[in-house]
């Protein structure tokens, strides 16, 4: 049985963690295959949006502690490096990534979700950074991301208490942007992914890059980046067609 399932529907790709018996815990095999899929998606022009979700009761409940317990210090370092490489690949993917959080997203599982561009969740989902309970710290860049989403105070509280929060609270503080009944999450995810996939792809790609640059760059540097991306988008056929369609609709409205 595949540890991850990957399939495409039109211009949308979907990767699903498939270790429900282990709450979709992340081990070396899962991370290695996920990284391969991200690279495949990056090279596939037909895929415009990637969705990440999980099978069963969890998105991913975190790292595979049983596997980690058997690792040498050097083996653990290699495993952590693989996880960091995966998180960076998701963050830098040249397509928007949606985390469809169907259940528990904890520790390394939340770290994966944090590297996605959009996070929506099922009503029953639980999100948290409980690694302090097992004497660890996060290793997938989650501190960098989460303080920008929910603020330093809330991020520290979440990490140091190690207590998960429910989906409604996650939406209230900005960790997710939508909460749906469990049986409606898949449908909501499809609609969102298809909506984004239908937009001019270059505009979406450059918008994602601009947002990432906004996190890491000064305001002055960001202005230069936005100018470069705007000019690049404006020369694309999709943009020109969108302009003409907009102008045509505007002219019709005036009449």
Q: Which of 172, 197, 222 is the last residue in one of the domains?
A: 197
State yes or no: pLDDT of 251 exceeds 70: no
Would you state the structure tokens that stand for residue 85, as one six-digit string?
């490489």
Both 170 and 146 in one domain: the answer is: yes
Q: Which of 61-75, 113-127, 183-197, 241-255 has the lowest mean pLDDT?
A: 241-255
Would you state the structure tokens that stand for residue 152, as one six-digit string?
């330093």
Both 129 and 183 in one domain: the answer is: yes
State yes or no: pLDDT of 17 exceeds 70: yes
Instruction: Give the per-residue pLDDT at 212.
Output: 87
Residue 233: CB atoms within 10 A of its CB come to: 18
State yes or no: pLDDT of 252 exceeds 70: no
State yes or no: pLDDT of 129 exceeds 50: yes
Both 159 and 206 in one domain: the answer is: no
Of 44, 33, 115, whose CA–CA distance to 82 is shortest? 33
Higher-pLDDT residue of 181, 218: 181
Instruction: Give the per-residue pLDDT at 146.
Output: 93
Both 48 and 98 in one domain: the answer is: yes
Both 98 and 145 in one domain: the answer is: yes
Both 19 and 97 in one domain: the answer is: yes
The predicted model gives 121-142 an average pLDDT of 89
Both 68 and 180 in one domain: the answer is: yes
State yes or no: pLDDT of 217 exceeds 80: no
Q: Which of 173, 197, 221 is the last residue in one of the domains?
A: 197
State yes or no: pLDDT of 222 exceeds 70: no
At residue 254 the predicted structure's pLDDT band, cuts being 50, 70 and 90, is low
Would you state the structure tokens that stand for residue 228, as one six-digit string?
């470069």
Both 154 and 234 in one domain: the answer is: no
Both 106 and 230 in one domain: the answer is: no
Instruction: Give the per-residue pLDDT at 233.
Output: 74
- pLDDT per residue as tens digits for the range 63-72: 888 888 888 8
Of 122, 127, 117, 114, whose CA–CA distance to 187 is shortest? 122
Q: What is the largest CA-CA distance in the chain?
A: 73
State yes or no: pLDDT of 253 exceeds 80: no
Higher-pLDDT residue of 244, 187: 187
Both 210 and 139 in one domain: the answer is: no
Instruction: Give how many domains the chain has, as a whole number.
Output: 2
Q: Are 5 and 30 in contact (CB under 8 A)?
A: no
Ramachandran class of 199: left when φ > 0, alpha when ψ lies in -120 to 50, beta otherwise: beta
Q: Which of 182, 197, 212 is the last residue in one of the domains?
A: 197
Residue 28's CATH number: 3.90.226.10
At residue 255 the predicted structure's pLDDT band, cuts being 50, 70 and 90, is very low
- pLDDT per residue as tens digits for the range 91-117: 999 999 999 999 999 999 999 999 999
pLDDT mean across residues, the chain: 90
Q: Distance between CA atoms of 129 and 70, rounded to whole angstroms?
A: 22
Both 67 and 95 in one domain: the answer is: yes
Domain that holds residue 239: 201-254
Both 234 and 163 in one domain: the answer is: no
Q: Distance between CA atoms of 69 and 134, rounded to whole angstroms?
A: 11
């Amino acid at each position: 049985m595949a540890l991850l399932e990957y399939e495409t529907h039109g211009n949308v790709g979907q990767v699903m963690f498939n270790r429900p018996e282990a709450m979709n815990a992340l081990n070396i095999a899962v991370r290695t295959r996920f990284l391969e899929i991200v690279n495949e998606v990056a090279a596939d022009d037909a895929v415009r949006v990637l969705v990440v979700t999980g099978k069963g009761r969890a998105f991913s409940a975190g790292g595979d502690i049983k596997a980690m317990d058997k690792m040498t210090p050097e083996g653990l370092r290699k495993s952590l490096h693989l996880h960091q490489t995966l998180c960076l690949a998701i963050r830098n993917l040249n397509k928007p990534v949606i985390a469809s959080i169907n259940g528990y997203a904890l520790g390394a599982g939340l770290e994966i979700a944090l590297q996605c561009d959009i996070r929506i969740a099922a009503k029953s989902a639980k999100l948290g950074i409980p690694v302090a309970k097992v004497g660890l710290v996060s290793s997938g860049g989650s501190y960098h991301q989460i303080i920008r989403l929910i603020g330093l105070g809330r991020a520290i509280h979440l990490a140091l208490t190690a207590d998960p929060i429910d989906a409604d609270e996650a939406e209230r503080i900005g960790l997710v942007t939508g909460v749906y009944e469990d049986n409606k999450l898949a449908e909501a995810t499809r609609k969102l992914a298809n909506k984004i996939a239908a937009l001019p792809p270059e505009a979406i790609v450059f918008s994602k890059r601009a947002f990432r640059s906004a996190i890491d760059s000064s305001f002055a540097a960001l202005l230069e980046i936005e100018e470069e991306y705007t000019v690049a988008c404006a020369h694309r056929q999709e943009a020109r067609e969108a302009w003409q369609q907009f102008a045509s609709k505007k002219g019709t409205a005036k009449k």
